[in-house]
Chains A and B, each alone.
Chain A
Amino acid sequence: MSNRYSFGGDEHLFVECDESMSLEAFFKSLSMTSAIRDSRIRGVTEICPANASFQIKFDPDVIKPDDILAEIQAIEKATTKAEPVINTRVVEIPVFYEDPWTHETLMRFRERHQDPQATDLEYAARINNLGGVGDFISAHSGAPWFVSMVGFVAGLPFMYQMVDRPRQLQVPKYLRPRTDTPKLTVGHGGCFSCIYSVRGAGGYQMFGITPMPIFDPEQKTSYLRDFMVFFRPGDIVKFRPIGRDEHDGIEGDVEAGRFVPIMRDVTFDLREFRKDIDGYNAKLEGEVHGG
């Protein structure tokens, strides 16, 4: 597939790798944006990867729009030939599924939902033809997710599950967006999961909550002192279901500055992944636990 290029006004070059979401499209966006970062083109001011596309902000007083286009197209040619390998990290995110806080919120906004008689998880399990909430949680936490985009609001990760298309969990957004979502809610819309970095409006289905802060503008959280945003595009996330006691324990540890997120640096190879998806994912999970 070849990229589609379009200018967003006189300061942005918008690049669509594919109009459909796929790991290949995301991978192309990620490897091209990292090649563009390495090439240090004068006049490029921001490089923003997204799910199946990306955006370059440039200063047209430094580089002409036609010249930036030519540079990026040359990089497209080069990366098509490059090996589909990235260095990234695997992070384990503890999730309290079916927690009381998102439950309270989803009950408040039931009239905006497709299925007011069911919870978001019950509905998601049913329309994905899974046996029940337990099976849905197993599918959601069973295979890792790529952070395919960080944004919408500060530090919010969009995640795409590292499974074949037939196994992708798909759930529509609420019929009308809610005016409230608890901070650190694990949500899902379309084929993407997300973690709400701040409290606020939202339209994604709500499945649970993580006790682990991912955005801290005051930088008081021990692991966010160097930088206030936790996630980066390309991170691999593994959700681990936890119960109320462990949730409260982690919350206390975060408060006391004792909590350390579990993460490991890894090299991801798309070809190896494609050969044996489940085996590759199991290996990634092994790495998280120091395997």
Chain B
Amino acid sequence: MVVSVINPGLATTVQDLGRPGYFHLGIPVGGALDRMALRAANLLVGNDEGAACLEAVFMGPELEFRDDATIAVTGAEMPIRIDGVEQPSWTALKVRAGGRLSFGFLKKGARIYVAIAGGIDVPEALGSRSTYVIGALGGFKGRAIAKGDELPVGQPGLTKEGRTLPEGLRRPSAAPAELRVLPGLYAHRLQEESLAGFFEDQWKVASEADRMGYRFKGGRPLRFVDREPPFGAGSDPSNIVDSCYPYGSIQVPSGSEPIILHRDAVSGGGYFMLGTVISADMDLIGQMQPNTPTTFVKVDMAEALRARADRAELLNRMREALA
């Protein structure tokens, strides 16, 4: 089966659950920014929950289906149309051969996930079909999809149209947003009141927000503890000897605008980090639009692990609901 791209949207890429294992060579895990939404979309159409889907940001693609297909769209709120007729989200939908899937304007959230029964069947690169655009790796020819592309789709399993995920099991995107952060890494570079201020201030998502990282504006500039720069670190107080960057880590170049690294992160660099967004909240970042008011909430490891368990529990309930 083949799906033709009539209009690609803004930056639509093939994504799955990523390629762990190569970050030590600078190749990030990648994959869907909102993992929960990707898993739900796949389960709705009878795919393995890690099958490759399309991830579209801010604007949906327009696709034409050569054969009958079952699809589901999850994630951000964006009107879904099949042959011009509006359809429900988080629901398995039938598209007839020759049918067209298109989208209206984004209402809430940032990224939609389009699963097609059978999964998008581009070749695997390092064990994943995810697109890593900077490295021209994976996905459809290592890049975002473009007009005229013909996307291969695998053999569908058993599908059942109309199947839907109960609302209570969807994770809505909230604005204002709260992101839970475990302080650490190079937090000691900051004056104590300044670190406290980071958690008090309200920030806003800046326009530079993509799969690599999300930048924030609007809080007070951070103040550093005085020091003699260590050999090899660089002269700015925010510099460190280039180190690894954890996924979700928050770096603040020159102390002005925090950047949270996401799943297409650069693997390292020379800016201090004050802490890391906990794993349970990483998916939420991918659904934040520019200008979303955001506060960072300080948590300890016990709270981070509880949040992780809660998220695993939600995922299990979702699996049961769609079994």
Contact = CB atoms under 8 A, between A and B. Distances in A.
Nearest to A215: B135
A12 interface: yes
Interface in B262-285: 266-270, 273, 275-280
Given A60-B305, A153-B26, A9 B248 contact: yes
Contacts of B137: 154, 217, 228
Given A21-B231, A55-B244, A61 B26 contact: no
Interface string A32-58: 000000000000011111111111010
Contact of A9 (B25, B243, B246, B269): B246
Contacts of B304: 9-10
Given A8-B246, A22-B231, A172-B234, A51 B134 contact: no
A9 B134 contact: no
Interface in A101-155: 149-155
A21 B135 CA distance: 28
A10 B184 CA distance: 11
B242 interface: yes
Given A19-B230, A165-B231, A172-B234, A190 B244 contact: no
Contacts of A52: 232, 241, 243
B249 interface: yes
Contact of B308 (A10, A153, A165, A197): A10
Given A20-B230, A191-B232, A151 B276 contact: no
A229 interface: yes
Given A152-B268, A153-B134, A11 B24 contact: no
Contacts of B275: 9
A48 B269 CA distance: 13
A84 interface: no
B21 to A, nearest CB: 6
- If over half of A's interface residues share one DSSP class (helix, strand or loop), that class is named, otherwise mixed; here it is loop
Nearest to A56: B244
A11 B261 CA distance: 14
Given A22-B231, A48-B267, A51-B232, A217 B142 contact: yes
A211 interface: no
Nearest to A158: B242
A217 B139 CA distance: 12
Contact of A152 (B21, B126, B267): B267
A51 B233 CA distance: 11
A48 B182 contact: no
Contacts of B267: 48, 151-153
Contacts, number: 175
Nearest to B281: A9
B301 A65 contact: yes
Nearest to B125: A217
Interface string B102-135: 0000000000000000000000011000001011
A50 B243 contact: yes
Contacts of B57: none
Given A7-B301, A50-B242, A57-B23, A217 B136 contact: yes
A153 B312 CA distance: 31
B144 to A, nearest CB: 15
A100 interface: no
A8 B242 contact: no
A125 B321 CA distance: 67
B185 interface: yes
A52 to B, nearest CB: 5
Contact of B244 (A10, A18, A61, A151): A151
B56 interface: no
Contacts of B276: 7-9, 12
B316 interface: no
A227 to B, nearest CB: 9
A6 to B, nearest CB: 4
B20 interface: yes
Given A152-B267, A154-B25, A233-B24, A19 B241 contact: yes
A237 to B, nearest CB: 16
A178 B88 CA distance: 46
Contacts of A243: none
A166 B135 CA distance: 37
Question: 6 nearest interchain CB pairs?
Answer: A21-B232, A8-B246, A9-B276, A151-B267, A151-B26, A55-B244
Given A57-B246, A172-B235, A231-B25, 8 more contacts: A9-B275, A9-B304, A10-B279, A10-B308, A12-B249, A21-B233, A152-B267, A232-B25
